[in-house]
Amino acid sequence: MTASTLKAAAFDSAPKTAARNRARWASGRTYISAALIFIWCLLPFYWMIVTAFRDVGYTFDPTPFFTHVTWDNFITVFSTDLGNHFARNLLNSFIIGGVTTVVALVVGVFAAYALARLEFRFKFLVLGFILGASMFPGVALVTPLFQLFTNIGWYGSYQAMIIPDISFVLPLTVYTLTSFFREMPWELEEAARIDGCTQGQAFRKVIMPLAAPAIFTTAILAFIAAWNEFLIASQLSNDETKPVTVAIAYFAGAQPHQEPYTAVMAAGTVVTIPLVILVLIFQRKIVAGLTAGAVK
Amino acid sequence: MSIGAEPTTTHRAKSPKPEKPVKQGKEASGVGQDNRAKSQGKWATMLIAPTLILLAIVIIYPVINAIVMSLQHDQGLDPVTGTFVAGGFAGVSNYIGWLFQQCASPNGGTEACAPGSVGSQFWSATYTTFFFTVITVVLETILGFWMAIIMARAFRGRSALRAAVLVPWAIPTAVTAKLWFFIFAFEGIANKLFGTAVLWTGSSGPARAAIIIADVWKTTPFMALLILAGLQMIPADVYEAAKVDGASTWQRFTQITLPLVKPALMVAILFRVLDALRMYDLPAIMTGGANDTTTLSLLVVAQIRNGFNSAAALSTITFLIIFIVAFIFIRFLGANAVDAASGGKGKGK
């Protein structure tokens, strides 16, 4: 609204100072709103990091900046004295997230290509099915899979989590890649063929470099989705295969009925920082991937 | 499972040729085109088959399995031999049990489930689920719209703001739950900030409020980004024209912004509603379902270890509820996600 007010102000035949004042007021309001959003989004995250670095004796200290700084909480997180195996949990999350992402990409990239580039019957139905699949409730899978995996001895195995994870990561992958592929300048492929490239060369030298960022962004989104999964893992993992999300939810402290807040915040920081860095670096691409298909 | 409201309309609008049955097309003139479509169709089938087969294995098979399971009685102890035996065919009695909150009584019949037992919570869990869904989605839509409008403006630091809103989105929900659990702890920062002494997760109202705030914090950015993408599709000259015609700010918002952003907005709301209806992580970690925060997903998980078969019936009911809500959204409110996904060429209606 202010953008148009600004433009309007420029168009106005009213005295210039009034227009300038109004424009200044409008941009001032924009900055105030932006600051509010900024604070609202980052303050809880900031509080997690402050607490993660705070001495356990000062857990509930309300001082808003870093005080009583210590690495102890991170040492607690990775120590196995209290029955936690956080390093193991991290590895599990990488295995589950990694395998899920690779499977979803390898299978989904072909479907996305077909959906974006080819004309065929039932395309609408296929898209509908894939979208419907991504909105499928996890609990409707957990119950039958719990029994099935128990019966065939897969309960607590990696595949017991990877298989249900594919049910929402694969649709997400196909959906995002399809929108990306639809935007790609495919004419270049034909141009390369006309210029004498073989089909293989055209694919390798023209299409691959163009598609790589799209595939990479999709991989990040898919990995984050699998990494953040909690419901399925909380029901189908065991102590050896438990991923970080489940580990953090049931993190054991020194006292049985006392929540080890500072250690949990440290664990949360360890889990979150890589994602946040990834997201900040690829911000533009990720926003494009997230909103791909929802508009246009 | 089709999401499409009007598949035929869209299909026709998109590509009139393949709409006809293949044979008829061959008899008609466009033979070359038909062959091309046919060979593309073959290719497409080969490329799409792995995805569909995999999805069928990971979704359709468990769903059918759940339905079959839900028609059996739970395993029970045989009163004579004292061993676990399969329950046998139950018809729809598991479903009736949930809907009328009837549990098996010791004498073999059914009776009203004991207060507090899993079986007695179906309607309260349904209510809680819808309560969370309506409140969070309404708040997220309003807040998300506001954020999107701000992010759409040109000002210095805009990309920093867009990066900042991605932070809550990227944090795993399990971590979000723990973070807000800590913020809302009795000695936590929320009570200190507001000078209150509320036992946030200790009673119904505050517990629900805590979960709603955590959910709104976590998912509003997603909503805002989807709405922002919709806002950016509106050409600026439309606003110029309205301005020249003397439309007020409010009129421009209701007459231009809202109608033009509506398709993107409806898709965003649809995504969020379906996501909120299966809410599990936040209540499971923050309250464990205590104090009227048990959602349907929590109830299913609570039932799994009591008996697979009635859990399967409940998960099927949950799935049906979500399916019906999605259907209503797409059919009556015009949230056409598939249309958007297929490039929006079918917006002919």
B153 to A30: CB separation less than 8 angstroms, yes or no? yes
| Overall residue count recorded for chain A in this entry | 296
Q: Which class for B284: exposed (0-12), middle (13-18), buried (19 or more C-beta within 10 A)?
A: buried
Instruction: Give me the residue from B14, B225, B346 closest to A287, CB to CB.
Output: B225
- Do residues B222 and B208 share a domain? yes
For residue B85, name the pLDDT band (cuts at 50, 70, 90): low
Output the pLDDT for position B9.
39
Report the range of poorest mean pLDDT among A214-218, B204-208, B246-250.
B246-250
pLDDT of A1 strictly over 50: no
Task: Choose among B238, B227, B236, B232: nearest CA to B262.
Answer: B227
Dist CA A58 CA A65 (whole Å): 13
Other CB atoms within a 10 A radius of the CB of residue A238 amount to 10
Contact B12, B19 (CB under 8 A): yes
CA distance B284 to chain A (A): 9
Q: Average pLDDT for residues B7-34, to the nearest whole number? A: 43
Output the pLDDT for position B12.
39
**pLDDT tens for residues A167-182?**
999 999 998 888 888 8
**pLDDT tens for residues A121-156?**
888 888 888 888 887 888 888 888 988 898 899 998
- Do residues B314 and B178 share a domain? yes
Dist CA A104 CA A219 (whole Å): 9
Q: A114 to chain B: which residues are within 8 Å by CB?
A: 43-44, 47-48
pLDDT of B343 strictly over 70: no
The conformation of residue B114, written as its DSSP 8-state character, comes to P
Report the range of poorest mean pLDDT among A238-247, B29-38, B95-104, B182-191.
B29-38
Determine which helix (DSSP H) or strand (DSSP E) holds B94, and give its type and residue range: helix B93-99
Contacts of A89 (CB under 8 A, 6+ apart): A242, A243, A244, A246, A247
- Do residues B50 and B134 share a domain? no
- Do residues B176 and B105 share a domain? no
B316 to A140: CB separation less than 8 angstroms, yes or no? yes
A144 to B65: CB separation less than 8 angstroms, yes or no? yes
B70 found inside a domain? no
Output the pLDDT for position A14.
52
Output the pLDDT for position A169.
93
For residue A118, name the pLDDT band (cuts at 50, 70, 90): confident
Query: How is B302-337 classified by DSSP, letter by letter?
Result: HHHTT-HHHHHHHHHHHHHHHHHHHHHHHHHS---H
B334 found inside a domain? yes
B63 to A144: CB separation less than 8 angstroms, yes or no? yes
Output the pLDDT for position B38.
66
| DSSP SS3 for B110 | strand
Report the range of poorest mean pLDDT among A108-117, B70-79, B186-195, B269-278.
B70-79
- Domain with B48, as residue range(s), is 34-61
Report the range of poorest mean pLDDT among A252-256, B214-218, B318-322.
A252-256
pLDDT of B333 strictly over 50: yes
Which residue of A113, A135, A183, A184 to mutate against B (max B Cβ within 10 Å)? A135
Dist CA B338 CA A124 (whole Å): 7
pLDDT above 90 as % of chain B: 28
A283 to B233: CB separation less than 8 angstroms, yes or no? no
Dist CA A91 CA A78 (whole Å): 12
| A147 to A159, B65, B69, B70, B242: CA distances (angstroms) | 15, 10, 10, 12, 61
Q: Average pLDDT for residues B294-309, to the nearest whole number? A: 88
CA distance B178 to chain A (A): 7
Determine which helix (DSSP H) or strand (DSSP E) holds B77, and give its type and residue range: strand B76-77
Query: In which residue are the tokens 């956080």 written?
Result: A86
B14 found inside a domain? no
Output the pLDDT for position B255.
86
The conformation of residue B56, written as its DSSP 8-state character, comes to I
CATH of the domain at B200: 1.10.3720.10
Task: Choose among A214, A271, A220: nearest CA to A93.
Answer: A271
pLDDT of A200 strictly over 90: no
B243 to A11: CB separation less than 8 angstroms, yes or no? yes
Dist CA A24 CA A6 (whole Å): 9
Sign of CA dihedral A132, A135, A140, A144: positive
Task: Choose among A246, A262, A266, A243: nearest CA to A254.
Answer: A262
B303 found inside a domain? yes
Averaged pLDDT score across all residues of chain A: 85
pLDDT of A254 strictly over 80: no
- Do residues B243 and B114 share a domain? no
Output the pLDDT for position B338.
64
B224 found inside a domain? yes
The residue with greater pLDDT, B73 or B10, is: B73
Q: Which residues pair with B72 in a beta bridge?
A: B89
Q: B65 to chain A: which residues are within 8 Å by CB?
A: 144, 148
B280 to A231: CB separation less than 8 angstroms, yes or no? yes
B337 found inside a domain? yes
Number of domains in chain B: 3
Q: Average pLDDT for residues A196-210, to the nearest whole number? A: 79
B239 to A7: CB separation less than 8 angstroms, yes or no? yes
B67 found inside a domain? no
- Do residues B300 and B311 share a domain? yes
Which residue of B43, B65, B98, B150 to mutate against A (max A Cβ within 10 Å)? B150
Report the range of poorest mean pLDDT among B71-80, B141-150, B152-161.
B71-80
Q: Average pLDDT for residues B27-34, to the nearest whole number? A: 49
CA distance A197 to chain B (A): 22
Q: Average pLDDT for residues A192-211, to the nearest whole number? A: 80
pLDDT above 70 as % of chain B: 79
- Do residues B228 and B131 share a domain? yes
Secondary structure, 3-state, A212-264: HHHHHHHHHHHHHHHHCCCHHHHHHECCCCCCHHHHHHCCCCCCCCCCCHHHH
B168 found inside a domain? yes
Token output for B318: 């949950």
Instruction: Give me the residue from B170, B228, B233 closest to A296, CB to CB.
Output: B233
List the domain boundaries for chain A.
2-75, 78-291
Instruction: Give me the residue from A62, A137, A167 closest to B58, CB to CB.
Output: A167
**pLDDT tens for residues B134-149?**
999 999 999 999 999 9
Dist CA B2 CA A125 (whole Å): 6
Residue of chain B with shortest Cα separation from A273? B171
Output the pLDDT for position B175.
94
- What is the ipTM, given to two decimal places? 0.86
For residue B4, name the pLDDT band (cuts at 50, 70, 90): very low
CATH homologous superfamily for the domain A78-291: MetI-like (1.10.3720.10)
